[in-house]
Structure 1
Amino acid sequence: MEKETARIEAFSDGVFAIAVTLLVLELHVPEFNAGSNPAALIKALISQWPAYIAFIISFFSIFIIWVNHHKVFKQIYKRNTGLMFANGFILFLVSLVSYPSALLARFYLSDAKQFSVTIYTGMFVLVNIAFNLLWQQATKDKGLLRPGISEQAIKQLRNNYLYGFPTYLIAFVSSFFYPDAALLICVLLWIYWAISSRKINFTAPLIT
């Protein structure tokens, strides 16, 4: 069967690449007077550590989203309008990741820390919802999927995203009270997605 999603995947890869590039714009070179010394530069660079943390978390979050997006589209061979809009929702959210990352970097050391973390974790709740919506649209019409994919494989992918939702939601709720813990949950989720994405590799036809 001919794969009809090549243009969707190419466009999606372009959006992911731009989203990652935008993240680095939040890493700024410190401004100094002409007589500044190396010690002052080191101190200024260290003081920007929230920006580095935000960049690292966001970069690998987008990377893991891209990996899972790639894995999902290995199982999708055809397209319809619902699928394209669901994919567009994912791309819309990915393109926004740089903004909550900038908020986190700028306000993490301020009184607005909690609110910046809440916005950041809320973004990834929406990303998880978007992935669930994409797979729901893909499986609603089994004719869109790769020939020979098994019910077990379909269920595995569905559960992979469904199980992530309550954890993202816990991170979001925790951000109101324990913002540091909420960010730690995001990091742990990044590790979870990295590990779980390795299991989504149904390259050969799976027959039930």
Structure 2
Amino acid sequence: METTRLEAFSDGVFAIAITLLILEIKVPPPGTALGAELLGLWPSYLAYVVSFLVIGAIWINHHAMFKHIVRVDGMLLRLNVLHLMLIAFLPFPTAVLAEAFHRGTDEPIAAAFYGGILTVIGIFVNAMWRYAARGNRLISTHLTATKIRKINRHFLIGPSVYAIATVVALVVPWLALLIFVLLNVFYLWPRWGHESAPSRIGDPTVSSDRSEND
């Protein structure tokens, strides 16, 4: 089958997850010093910005990936569902991270928990791409072997750096958060040539009978 329904469903999950992030930021209670209370919410603002960048970067690269993946089968659908399950879960570790910094306790555990989830998300991104690209199973024929290897390396950066940052978080949580931000600023601009991918219109691989439905 073609990728249209998978992409539409994925976009919906990304949109809901990124919207839920703001719900963690609570309005200060009445009768308090509003200015001080708003300033005191800085951990929530920080966690919100980090997770917004994370989800935004993952969505951009998901879109870029499906410039090259032109058909799906049952296994890719399942991998994508597991990937989206973790995306939808991300507001929870975001809230845990913000609360830990609010209290000033357990920041290393909260940051490592957050980093661990990002690491698993990165693993599923790699699993999706490598499954689709193996033997040109589900990708467009315009991709060369050199380009596929380049994309493989690009995607491998994510879980590798996230795993390192997760370990760093147990010692210096602030540094881990900085690594999360910098990595996702990097991923906001995919560097593996999806902009030059040809249109799917007229691509014979889109309607190929080689697609596997299960």
For 1:1-208, list aligned pairs within 5 A: 4-33=2-31, 36=32, 40-109=33-102, 110-197=104-191, 199-204=193-198
CA contact (8 A) 2:70 2:139 kept: yes
Figure out how many residues of one structure are paired with residues of the other and give that number.
Answer: 198
- TM-score by length of structure 1 reads 0.90
> Residue type of the partner of 1:104?
L
* CA-CA distance at 1:107 after TM superposition: 1.2
CA contact (8 A) 1:114 1:175 kept: yes
Secondary structure at 2:188's aligned position in 1? helix
Q: CA RMSD in A?
A: 1.6
Residue 205 of structure 2 corresponds to which residue in structure 1? Answer: none
* Structure showing greater relative contact order (alpha-carbon pairs closer than 8 Å, 6 or more residues apart): 2
* CA-CA distance at 1:192 after TM superposition: 1.5
> Residue type of the partner of 1:139?
A
- Whole-angstrom distance in 2 between the partners of 1:113 and 1:162: 27
- Whole-angstrom distance in 1 between the partners of 2:25 and 2:93: 14
CA contact (8 A) 1:30 1:45 kept: yes
* CA-CA distance at 1:197 after TM superposition: 4.5
CA contact (8 A) 2:18 2:55 kept: yes
User: Taking every aligned residue pair, what percent have the same amino acid on both sides?
Assistant: 35
- TM-score by length of structure 2 reads 0.87
**CA 1:201 to 1:70, structure 2 compared with 1: closer, same or farther past 3 Å?**
same
CA contact (8 A) 1:77 1:145 kept: yes
Gaps of 5+ in 1: none
CA-to-partner distance for each residue in 1:90-111, whole Å, 9 max, x for gaps?
1111001100000011111321
Gaps of 5+ in 2: 200-214
CA contact (8 A) 1:67 1:197 kept: no
Secondary structure at 1:30's aligned position in 2? coil
**CA 1:76 to 1:93, structure 2 compared with 1: closer, same or farther past 3 Å?**
same
- Whole-angstrom distance in 2 between the partners of 1:197 and 1:18: 27
- Whole-angstrom distance in 1 between the partners of 2:164 and 2:100: 22
